[in-house]
Structure 1
Amino acid sequence: MKEFLKNLGPGILVSAAFIGPGTVTVCSIAGVEFGYNLLWVLLISVIGCMLLQEMSARLGLISGTGLSENIKSQLANPILRNIALLLVFSAIVIGNAAYEAGNISGAALGLQGIFADVSLKLGNLKINLWSCLIGGLAFILLFLGSYKQLEKVFIGLVLLMSLSFLITAILTKPDLRLIFKGLIPSNVDAGLLSIIALVGTTVVPYNLFLHASLVSEKWKGAGKLGIVRKELIFSIGLGGLVSMAILICAAASGIQNIENAGDLAAGLEPLFGEAATVFLALGLLAAGITSSITAPLAAAYVVRGCLGWKPARNDWKFRMVWMSIVLLGIIFSSVGFKPVEVIQFAQVANGMVLPVVAIFLFWIVNRAAVMGEYRNGFILNLFGILVIGLAFFLGIKSIYNVLSNF
């Protein structure tokens, strides 16, 4: 067990990245609106996520570099290379800057659920001090923490998050028969937008870049592939279990209307007591903190790979990227500003970049020049094509959903 815990790291960060406040909200809404009937979507999403992340982790281990570096080196055509890198740069960097405010706000909402709203009024401007605290904590951990220290922090936060949501789900005393029934695919037509949201919040484009870079830093050599895969399956499987626990909480709550995770926390207390609310708030706090750290970190890795900077985390150019994203998140979150247009751009860009990145990843892990004997086999390619097809569908739908609102 001690040896296994020592090898936890990259997969835990990936799991922490996709279980953010957005995931908590999406799973809560799905549970309230459709009960346990969409649990099967999360199950399929987690399997698809494992497949893509395994390819990303294997690429990082065998090539010794991140995904953006491989895209840059393997695309010989300069026009195609620059278009690909620009698209990746726009989607990941601007997208993560937009979503950082949501991550910090989610963690602040968790603190408000345990304590109270703490704000400072400056004229007509109301500043949420919890958002400043969370953003400051993310900044300090990224600035002072070495890779090993960050790993330990994330392992602790993910375990806190997992226990909090799982205990909350148990406190709601869900119907086990309905849970098992919900794991069987059904209701494909009902709740199509919810299905898209559940898959989209699990299969995250920036995690493909983050995972490859983290694995290339932690391990060297193909001999570690078995460890990489075990750690990945455990970490993402745990993340999927947490997502299901959140959906189960919402489904068992009996709440009729919900718009965000705060509504779920407020609705649980009169039904299941203060303990359920506290555990949910702790889980939301941990989810927000972890995502508020991983989003800026992933953006910095992408920029480093696109621009060819030296692979050093204490390099000031690398630090300036994540610092900018954390700072924007603090500002947007603390003043309650909702950058709707920026987030809509991020949704369109991510909808475009997910299938593109999945195709580039699929292409690179099939290249003998990069992967040698560790390139994809027939079974992995078959499932990879299915996942990419799903990514295309999700991308087109997310773009259509945003554009139809204009």
Structure 2
Amino acid sequence: MPDNEHLSQDVAAAPDAPQQRTQKWRLVGPGIVVAATGVGAGDLVATLIAGSRFGYALLWAVVLGVVVKIALAEATGRWHLATGSTIFAGWRSMGAWTSVYFVVYVVVWGFVYGATAMTSSALPLAALFPALSIPAWGILCGLVGLAIVWFGNYRVFERVMTVLIGVMFVIVVGLAVLVVPDLGATLGGLVPRLPEGSAVYTLGLVGGVGGTITMAAYGYWVNAKGWRDASWMRVMRLDNRVAYITTGVFVVAMLIVGADLLYNSGVSLTEGDRGLLDLDGILRDRFGPVVATLFLIGFFATSFSSLLGVWQGVSLLVTDFVRTSKRASGQLTEGVAERSWPYRGYLLWLTFPPMALLFLGQPFALVVAYGALGAFFMPFLALTLLWLLNSRRTPDRWRNGWLSNLLLTAAAVLFLVLCVNELMNLTS
């Protein structure tokens, strides 16, 4: 999110930026992709559970989460456009430790996430079409995702993601309208307060509005869209705000469903992705099979969009890691990156080895390593962006102002607290 200084700079676009660029809403796309990728089935369940336990009391946390994520994504996109390089080039300039962390992270995290994403996408399909098992549907989802990302370019990827995002948005928001929310209680939830026992859920809601490693991929998707210099800064910021406001509405809708459908009836959900199958049964009993079926379709769209986003976005990060290790400079060339061996090699790593976990389960030690590494990434991103965007690596005009620094610092503190909480849960 820009500060006051940057807002004033936005009013006067860069000299080489045609004014019509900021008027074409059809250009919006990369922000929607990164925000939707970060909202998976597990985030929906966490939001539903928060609504079922605390009603509307934590609605303000969703709004705060939107603001924090706008700041993080804007900072990532600003780095790419202002410097003409990539976030990985920035990380590498900070020392070899960033590369060591990244390699360990993407290898371990990618292995377990691949199985998680395939299982999450398979759950609603197995409920809709029980003739195939969850592992079988998971394998099919992995293969379809691989084909879309392997053979398609960014434009194809964005179109598929836009369709999935439209489906999940319409269904979930429609469901929120269907349960007839209490408007007075909804507005009251915008007043910050912490009900007893809500601290962890509050942090989770703030941190869970579209935030994963794919936030670091936003700059690459901005470049793939054709935005490659500071003349696109206004368009990028518009794209980012629209994306996260849209995602915020989506998450608020899930909180409303949890508050109105579950809180008043005292119904509880299973933790994790399978909790959405519990909601399917509740919807079937209350609204009938058509609504329940539509919800499962929205569940699939949410899960599969996250799968596609990680398959494409994190593979770009891996590609840039290899490229910058060879002392290459500048930005990735769209089309060339998707045909490179690092990109396709990591796609295969995300798809095939994790299939074993669909049948064997997740070994405990691997789950612990996955949770620990995953919890560390978001504070890593926030802290490194703070460093890079306040340094000489960034042109003076595009360095952080007070508001950007405040929000990125708040994000770093938030994610560090979440990280410590995650580690305590894993070791307890």
Return the TM-score normalized by structure 1: 0.89
Residues 341/118 of structure 1: CA separation in 2 closer, same or farther (3 Å cut):
farther
| Cα deviation code 1:102-123 (max 9, x no counterpart) | 222222222234x232336xxx
> Does structure 1 residue 395 correspond to structure 2 residue 410?
no
Of the three residues 31, 34, 45, the one matched with 2:65 is 45
User: In the alignment, is the contact (CA less than 8 A) between 1:41 and 1:195 conserved in 2?
Assistant: yes
Matched with 1:220 is 228
- 1:248 maps to amino acid: I
Matched with 2:389 is 365
> Does structure 1 residue 118 correspond to structure 2 residue 131?
yes
Of the three residues 2, 19, 26, the one matched with 2:39 is 19
- Looking at structure 1, the residues matched to 196 and 409 of structure 2 have their Cα atoms a distance apart, in angstroms, of 23
> Does structure 1 residue 139 correspond to structure 2 residue 146?
yes
Of the three residues 265, 269, 272, the one matched with 1:258 is 269
Residues 203/15 of structure 1: CA separation in 2 closer, same or farther (3 Å cut):
closer
Q: Which residues of structure 1 form unaligned runs of 5+? A: 76-80, 121-126
Matched with 1:105 is 119
Residues 60/106 of structure 1: CA separation in 2 closer, same or farther (3 Å cut):
same
User: In the alignment, is the contact (CA less than 8 A) between 2:28 and 2:238 conserved in 1?
Assistant: no
User: In the alignment, is the contact (CA less than 8 A) between 1:206 and 1:299 conserved in 2?
Assistant: yes
Q: Which residues of structure 2 form unaligned runs of 5+? A: 1-19
User: In the alignment, is the contact (CA less than 8 A) between 1:40 and 1:184 conserved in 2?
Assistant: yes
Matched with 2:289 is 274
User: In the alignment, is the contact (CA less than 8 A) between 2:382 and 2:412 conserved in 1?
Assistant: yes
User: In the alignment, is the contact (CA less than 8 A) between 2:76 and 2:219 conserved in 1?
Assistant: yes
Residues 196/179 of structure 1: CA separation in 2 closer, same or farther (3 Å cut):
same
- Looking at structure 2, the residues matched to 12 and 93 of structure 1 have their Cα atoms a distance apart, in angstroms, of 26
Residues 34/339 of structure 1: CA separation in 2 closer, same or farther (3 Å cut):
farther
**2:394 match: secondary structure:** helix
- Looking at structure 2, the residues matched to 188 and 250 of structure 1 have their Cα atoms a distance apart, in angstroms, of 16
Q: CA deviation at 1:188?
A: 5.4
| Cα deviation code 1:184-222 (max 9, x no counterpart) | 211255222222332332363413321122113321221
Q: CA deviation at 1:231?
A: 0.7
| Cα deviation code 1:282-331 (max 9, x no counterpart) | 21111111111112323323322333367312102211102211224444
User: In the alignment, is the contact (CA less than 8 A) between 1:95 and 1:343 conserved in 2?
Assistant: no
- Looking at structure 2, the residues matched to 214 and 94 of structure 1 have their Cα atoms a distance apart, in angstroms, of 24
- Looking at structure 1, the residues matched to 370 and 113 of structure 2 have their Cα atoms a distance apart, in angstroms, of 8
**2:395 match: secondary structure:** helix
- 2:179 maps to amino acid: T
Matched with 2:96 is 82
The answer to which of 220-229 and 22-31 deviates more is: 22-31
- Looking at structure 1, the residues matched to 363 and 186 of structure 2 have their Cα atoms a distance apart, in angstroms, of 37
> Does structure 1 residue 242 correspond to structure 2 residue 262?
no
Q: CA deviation at 1:366?
A: 1.6
| Cα deviation code 1:85-134 (max 9, x no counterpart) | 22233234422332232222222222234x232336xxxxxx63221221
Q: CA deviation at 1:5?
A: 4.7
Of the three residues 280, 283, 301, the one matched with 2:316 is 301
> Does structure 1 residue 166 correspond to structure 2 residue 181?
no
The answer to which of 305-314 and 233-242 deviates more is: 305-314
- 1:384 maps to amino acid: L
Q: CA deviation at 1:177?
A: 1.5
Residues 107/320 of structure 1: CA separation in 2 closer, same or farther (3 Å cut):
same
Matched with 1:94 is 108
- Looking at structure 2, the residues matched to 187 and 152 of structure 1 have their Cα atoms a distance apart, in angstroms, of 40
Residues 6/204 of structure 1: CA separation in 2 closer, same or farther (3 Å cut):
same
The answer to which of 314-323 and 371-380 deviates more is: 371-380
- Looking at structure 1, the residues matched to 195 and 75 of structure 2 have their Cα atoms a distance apart, in angstroms, of 28
User: In the alignment, is the contact (CA less than 8 A) between 1:171 and 1:276 conserved in 2?
Assistant: no
- Looking at structure 1, the residues matched to 98 and 245 of structure 2 have their Cα atoms a distance apart, in angstroms, of 31
**1:154 match: secondary structure:** helix
User: In the alignment, is the contact (CA less than 8 A) between 1:52 and 1:384 conserved in 2?
Assistant: yes
**1:367 match: secondary structure:** coil
Residues 358/188 of structure 1: CA separation in 2 closer, same or farther (3 Å cut):
farther
Matched with 1:185 is 192
Equivalent residues in 2 for 1:41-80, closer than 5 Å: 41-72=61-92, 74-75=93-94
Q: CA deviation at 1:47?
A: 0.8
User: In the alignment, is the contact (CA less than 8 A) between 1:31 and 1:248 conserved in 2?
Assistant: yes
RMSD of Structure 2 on Structure 1 (CA): 2.3
User: In the alignment, is the contact (CA less than 8 A) between 1:355 and 1:388 conserved in 2?
Assistant: yes
- Looking at structure 2, the residues matched to 170 and 144 of structure 1 have their Cα atoms a distance apart, in angstroms, of 39
- Looking at structure 2, the residues matched to 142 and 112 of structure 1 have their Cα atoms a distance apart, in angstroms, of 23
- Looking at structure 2, the residues matched to 208 and 69 of structure 1 have their Cα atoms a distance apart, in angstroms, of 16
- Looking at structure 2, the residues matched to 288 and 391 of structure 1 have their Cα atoms a distance apart, in angstroms, of 23
- Looking at structure 1, the residues matched to 313 and 354 of structure 2 have their Cα atoms a distance apart, in angstroms, of 15
- Looking at structure 1, the residues matched to 287 and 364 of structure 2 have their Cα atoms a distance apart, in angstroms, of 35
Of the three residues 299, 303, 322, the one matched with 1:284 is 299
- Looking at structure 1, the residues matched to 244 and 28 of structure 2 have their Cα atoms a distance apart, in angstroms, of 12
Of the three residues 289, 311, 314, the one matched with 2:339 is 314
- 1:110 maps to amino acid: P
User: In the alignment, is the contact (CA less than 8 A) between 2:41 and 2:120 conserved in 1?
Assistant: yes
- Looking at structure 1, the residues matched to 353 and 190 of structure 2 have their Cα atoms a distance apart, in angstroms, of 39
Matched with 2:366 is 342
- 1:315 maps to amino acid: S
The alignment covers a number of residue pairs equal to: 390
- 1:128 maps to amino acid: P
Q: CA deviation at 1:281?
A: 1.0
Return the TM-score normalized by structure 2: 0.85
> Does structure 1 residue 34 correspond to structure 2 residue 54?
yes
